[in-house]
Amino acid sequence: MNAELHEFQPEEVMAYLDGEITGERALALADHIEQCPECASLADDFRSLSQQLIAWKIESSPLLESPAIQGVDALTAEEAMGAFKSDRDSIAALLPAQESAPVVGRKSSLLSSLLDFIRRPRVQGPWVWALASACAALLIFSLLSLRMLRVAPSQSVLSSASRETKTQNAKPDQSPTIGAPPNSGLSIGGHRARSNQVSIDGLDAADNSVNAIRANSSQEAASAAKVDNLPVNRRQYIDFSRTDSHVSREPAGLDTSVHSELATKVDTVDTATVPVQMIERTASLSLTVKEMDAARAAIEDIEKRHHGYFADLNTEGQSEAGRTLAASLRVPADELDATLGELRKLGHLDEEKQGGEEVSQQHVDLEARLRNARNTEKRLTDLLTKRADKLKDVLDVERELASTREEIERMEAQLRNMEKQVSYASIDLKLREEYKPALNLAPPATGARPRNALVDGYKSAAESALGLVLFLFQEGPTILFWLLVLFFPARWMWRKLRAVVAPKQSLAGAL
Amino acid sequence: MRMPEVEFNQPFGESASLGAMLDERLLLIFRMGNSEAFSELFRRYSNPVYGFFRRRLENLARAEELAQETFVAVLRGIERYEPRATFRTYLNGIAMKILMAERRKSARRESPAAASIDPSTDSYVEAAIWVQRAIEQLDDDHRDILLLREFEQLTYDEIAALLRLPVNTVRSRLFRARTALKAFLLPLRPEMRNET
């Protein structure tokens, strides 16, 4: 059909037949169809098509065939509305009406099927909630784990203690001898023992605090050390081969029971098989003192009496206000407890920490390597004197010997350093003078303050904006992801919820 | 359209008077507590709603379930109904939504697309099968509009509102659908033209 020749588009003819065109236009179209054979045939086609389509009849609704209507009629509006109440009892209460209706096939009554239908979402309820709570739990867990990952794991005292015990157990009982550490007053001559349980009474300064020492090579002692209730496992580094001199150095305050225990245990110690405990001890004290000057003098006195030295000392603060002093004090390991006791008396104790790091394993390793290196040196020397005839061989051996000796020297230095660290304990001391507010009579500068405030304000505004941007960058993808994951379940649940709530509201509105 | 007013103290009469009422009035009366009003609406629209699904779904039992679901939805959403729209439009809107949801579900289930028309079980005239086959050959977009026009008797405006399409699109698609259907029907059953 050539549409251009026609006043009306074929679509318009169709719309006219569908009753969509009214008024003048409809009249014009009616006239045109009468005159134009093409449009008339088109209209006929459309009419016959609609006629043909009517042939597709559908059987009457099975909902009507069943006594459904009676089911609905038996309901009052309140009951029908009540069917949407969430409690099943009200639904169950409605069911007798359905039972009275004759059962015809699957659909005995519209009411029962409606009720079935209404109940169906509620059966899904637990699943919905389970899914939602699972999502929520997952979300919380993932957020928490994100937070946890950012916090560096701190080592607990207990874990370090158990680690100590493990090293101890794993260690072979053939530790080599080491020389006497300088300045410690203790010496090791192939005889070693360890004290596995040491309790320290820090308040008694005169006492060196060793109340009980059990030198025992069994594993039980090692495990006893683990469950020790002290904040830190403390071990002493004691030479039992020279018991006389050692005991003589003990302060007078040492309990006699300790002496007797020492005396009995010393004999039983098989020193060749007991690994030595080498512990770098550290302590930190935080005190509040009344007078900083007096306290400082006292500290220096303590330092001198215990043969220690200051690795570092800083004082801060104005003379009137509360001053602070931070010092790093090093004292011989066996005088640590006495020193700590004296320091505690300087003022009010705010905080105290003690720690120990075991370096026995490192020490043993180093010694073994040193021994090997010495053997190598000896063999090389032998080789040089007996075997090497050619000049090239001599040079090679010499070179090798030189590098071995260098290594030996380095290891010896390391060993000395380690022993020194073990023999000297370090104390981090923080003193704070009691706060005495001082009256400052100088008038505060007012001119610069608004400007400073403005600058600070600008700075904090800029920082908070930047913080927001950073936060969005950092957390944005996570939030977006979870929103995406949770959006559809949430929307679905919202719809379900609304569908359940709406009829209730409608009931309220109707009554 | 002007809505009949509902007086609150009006005693609700017998079914006969209900039968004479407009759909919208029936719905309002039901909302006020007369369940017979809903029965009347149910009587009026059971067949159209069932037919709506029956023509669009292969599964007979499913069509029945969805027809029922449509009435449940009317019950549930009764408070949201605004007399601005005719009840028929409102009902068709609900049925359409339910149908769309069903199609999404069955698309996910990957149900076989092939039509399963079995003339031996279909007790209706043979012509119905031909019509049905021809309609099935249409695009989804075209088929929906054609069915809404021919069987639900919706106006172009109503179809446009229901499918959220411009009226012109509805008109042109309907035209194309009818033209195509005519072409499909001719080779299938040439004698049909003579009958009609």
| DSSP-assigned beta bridge partners for residue B53 | none
Of A128-137, A156-165, A330-339, B89-98, the poorest mean pLDDT is in: A156-165
Give the torsion sign (CA, B106, B108, B109, B112).
positive
In this prediction, residue A154 carries a pLDDT of 43
The string of pLDDT tens digits covering residues A430-471 is: 888 877 666 666 666 677 888 889 999 999 999 999 999 999
Banded pLDDT at A318 (limits 50, 70, 90): low
Which DSSP letter does residue B84 get? T
Check residue B172 and give its pLDDT. Answer: 92
CB-CB: which of A11, A79, A113 is closest to B172?
A: A11
pLDDT, tens digit (0-9, with 9 covering 90-100), for A467-507: 999 999 999 999 999 999 999 999 999 988 887 776 555 44
Would you state the structure tokens that stand for residue A265, as one six-digit string? 């245990």
Closest A-chain CA to B158? A20
By Cβ distance, the residue of A53, A58, A114 closest to B150 is A53
- Kindly give, in sequence order, each residue whose CB lies less than 8 Å from that of residue A495, ignoring residues fewer than 6 positions away: none
Nearest-angstrom CA–CA distance, A448 and B117: 92
pLDDT of residue A471: 92
CB–CB contact B181 A58 (8 Å)? no
Instruction: Using alpha carbons, select from B50, B48, B45 the residue that is nearest to residue B63.
Output: B50
| A113 near B CB under 8 A | yes
Please tell me the distance in Å from A78's CA to the nearest CA on chain B: 6
Q: From A117, A95, A71, select the one nearest B36 (Cα to Cα).
A: A71
**Is A80–B182 a contact, with Cβ atoms under 8 angstroms apart?**
no
In chain B, whose CA is at the least distance from the CA of A511? B32
CB contact under 8 A, A48 and B193: yes
- What is the per-residue pLDDT across B2-15, written as a single tens digit (0 to 9) for each? 444 444 444 444 44
Q: How many residues does chain B have?
A: 196
Judged by phi (left if over 0) then psi (alpha if -120 to 50, else beta), residue B153 lies in left
pLDDT at A100: 35
**Number of Cβ pairs < 8 A linking chain A and chain B:** 142
Token match 């007996």: residue? A386
3-state DSSP helix/strand/coil percent for chain B, to nearest 5? 70, 0, 30
Give yes or no for residue B132 having a pLDDT over 60.
yes
Interface check A135 vs B, CB under 8 A: no
Beta bridge partners of B46: none
Instruction: Looking at the complex, report in whole angstroms how far the Cα of residue A29 sits from the nearest Cα belonging to chain B.
Output: 17
Paired tokens of B177: 């659908």
- CB-based contact, A97 to chain B, within 8 Å: no
Contact A55, A66 (CB under 8 A): no
DSSP, residue by residue, B5-29: P--TTPPP--HHHHHTS-HHHHHHH
End-to-end Cα distance, chain B: 37
Nearest CA in chain A to B149: A18
Averaged confidence pLDDT in chain B: 77
Looking at the predicted structure, is the pLDDT value of residue A165 above 50? Answer: no
Q: Which of B44, B47, B79 to mutate to test the interface with A (most CBs of A within 10 A)?
A: B79
User: Taken in order A47, A53, A59, A61, is the CA torsion positive or negative?
Assistant: negative
Quote the CA–CA distance of B114 and A36 in Å, as a whole number.
42
Interatomic CA distance for residues A49 and B179, integer angstroms? 9
Task: Using a cut of 0.90, tell me whether the model's pTM lies above it.
Answer: no
Higher pLDDT, A150 or B64: B64
The strand ranges marked E within A238-302 are: 279-289
pLDDT of A449: 85
Q: What is the 3-state secondary structure (H, E, C) of A205-253?
A: CCCCCCCCCCCCCCHHHHHHHHCCCCCCCCCCCCCCCCHHHHHHHCCCC
Q: Are strands A324-332 and A279-289 parallel, antiparallel or unpaired?
A: unpaired
Residue A44 near chain B (CB below 8 Å): no
C-alpha angle with apex B121: B117 to B126, nearest 5 degrees? 65
Reported as a pLDDT band with limits 50, 70 and 90, residue A419 is: confident
Q: Please determine, for the modelled complex, whether the ipTM score is greater than 0.85.
A: no
Q: How far apart (Å, rounded) are the C-alpha atoms in residues B121 and B114?
A: 17
